[in-house]
Structures are given as structure tokens and as C-alpha cells.
Amino acid sequence: MNMLNKKVEIQKGRAVITETKEIELADGEGIQELRRKLKTELGDIVRSVKSLKERADEIKKILEEIERQEKEQPIKEGQ
């Protein structure tokens, strides 16, 4: 038997929602559902990390270009 419990608390002006799901280990269908959900979540995380890494690389290149330009032509204070 699968059980789902949700708890909502108000903390420092925010709603904190805690969800707990219990899956009976003898329930093969519940285990398969959990496995699918975890694999999907893992895939989402991997895609997110790849996207963040690409953005980090873009930012590094922009910062390197800014530094290169500053060395070539220093910006005067007050401009």
C-alpha cells in the first residue's frame, strides 16, 4: 500500500510544504513507479547541470573578453 502525507507549515512568512510518500517494498508496481520517477528526475537534473555549465562557460568567455579589453584600454574612473 502506498501512503502519501503532506504537511504545510508557515515559517517566517513562507509556506513550507513537506511531502512524504511511503512505498511498500513488496509492491512491485510501486517500486517501478518510484524507479521511473527517480530516473526522470535524474535526467532533468543532468540536463539542468549541462545547461548551467554551458551558461557558465559563456559567462567566463564574456568576463575574459572584458578583462582583455580593460588591459588594452583601461577605463578611467568617473566615466
pLDDT of 17-64, one tens digit each? 898 877 777 778 878 888 898 999 999 999 999 999 999 999 999 999
Q: Tell me, what's the pLDDT at 24? A: 74
Question: Where do the structural domains in the chain lie, given as residue ranges?
Answer: 3-11+26-70
Q: What is the mean pLDDT of residues 68-75?
A: 83
Angle at the Cα of 59 (from 53 to 61), degrees rounded to 5? 105
Q: Tell me, what's the pLDDT at 1? A: 46
pTM (whole model) above 0.75:
no
d(CA 72, CA 58): 21
